[in-house]
Structure 1
């Protein structure tokens, strides 16, 4: 199964004191040819001022669903711990319908302890959070199948992470897209482990789209890393941008790079 090269941008919902900064960034991302706009599921900034401006993930995705017409949208990634799985499925179905079928359900086990402590969630351990994710995924898919009205499509599930024993096993079982959080040097080993899990559960690894973030000290390094990842089979390449300005220069460079590759 061959997927086209797609360009994503993660509009990190931090350090934007007015939501208009983010609304404008989403519009610009759609205008320049980005394929997928992601945010993230945290309650406080991940870098810079730890108590700086920040917005919530899923209410924002509902706004993006109304604002945009072409972009796919999603979280990179939703924290499984923050919402009951059935509720999350219903939220995803609703945003899917608002967007006419453009939602990607990105999900992971969670890791930012400040979010848990400040909002009253049990942090547990990395292992317990992954176990919770493993219990949640079949509940999410079961609830999606029961909802009325139904989702407009089989909502693709993106699972983020590279944990070799549990996370990649869950990707093999439930993932339509795997976001590796690995660079081109680390990616091949992780991909080989995922392929092994797929063999164990009887699933063709080729049906799982491969996704990764792209970074570099300058544009040349960025595009070299994009070339390397694409050569390894990664077809969804995402660059992160920060508020309040949301500089999309690198996203534009990736869109031009994609156009050159596809002729």
Structure 2
């Protein structure tokens, strides 16, 4: 696990009717020095006008693979329900090659019912979706091991969520990165639960990179104070979500400067 703090930005693929706005945001994100650019895997906006503009996740990541040169990138997160696990492995491997080894496979169990209803997927229950994720992850790993050509590197798997009985068990068994949406106190508790799952599997929990979401509606100074507090607990990846159509990266720039000052 790296000890250097990294900064991610989630460029939400909503409310940007001209894809050029997203392309420009990715370019600017790389230029200001972020480490990772994420999108998300939905089919409709999650906020604002529900009938607003929206673009699909993985075809966009293929474009990012060609457009960028330095940053890592990936979905935050892919919905396991939307693609056959073997297909998803092949998609990730292909984008890995296109990018020269910079894709991160973020994955979760899914939750946005409108996606399921309008695209014809079985919504099930939260429990059944988590069970399906647990079944899919070994299939993804198995297919990845059999693909020809092989990925250029072991593609990092990021799992998002904090469910203590199932999600964190999946993290312990399969994830390289654990992404959480919690405050410092809650993170401390969830991290202890994750350590218990790792112990049951014989895995060192320090081999899992810790990632946390920053709340974009907070004051920037508050964000930096949260960054100081959560990184003191062992988190090394902080991600801020930014929405379209403008994709204002001014707060992201401050985070990058804060990151760089910590390394001095």
- TM-score w.r.t. structure 2 length? 0.98
Aligned to 1:10, the other structure's residue is in SS state strand
Q: Which residues in structure 2 correspond to 1:168-207 (within 5 Å)?
A: 168-207=168-207
Q: Report the alpha carbon displacement of residue 185 of structure 1 after superposing the two structures with TM.
A: 2.9
Equivalent in the alignment of 1:46: 46
Structure 1 stretches lacking a partner, 5+ long: none
Q: Report the alpha carbon displacement of residue 183 of structure 1 after superposing the two structures with TM.
A: 2.2
Structure 2 CA distance, aligned partners of 1:250 and 1:233?
A: 22
Equivalent in the alignment of 1:10: 10
Aligned to 1:186, the other structure's residue is in SS state helix
Q: Report the alpha carbon displacement of residue 196 of structure 1 after superposing the two structures with TM.
A: 0.6
Structure 2 CA distance, aligned partners of 1:24 and 1:219?
A: 23
Q: Decide whether the 8 Å contact of 1:183 with 1:214 is kept in 2.
A: no
Structure 1 CA distance, aligned partners of 2:140 and 2:251?
A: 35
Q: Report the alpha carbon displacement of residue 222 of structure 1 after superposing the two structures with TM.
A: 0.9
Q: 1:179 to 1:118 in 2, by over 3 A?
A: same
Equivalent in the alignment of 2:233: 232
- Count matched residues: 263
Aligned CA RMSD, in angstroms, stands at 0.8
Runs of 4+ in 1 over 6 A off after TM superposition: none
Equivalent in the alignment of 2:65: 65
Q: Report the alpha carbon displacement of residue 3 of structure 1 after superposing the two structures with TM.
A: 2.6
- TM-score w.r.t. structure 1 length? 0.99
Matched, 1:214 2:219: no
Superposed CA offset, 1:141-169 (max 9, x none): 00001011110000000000100000000
Matched, 1:147 2:147: yes
Superposed CA offset, 1:168-200 (max 9, x none): 000000000000121223110111100110000
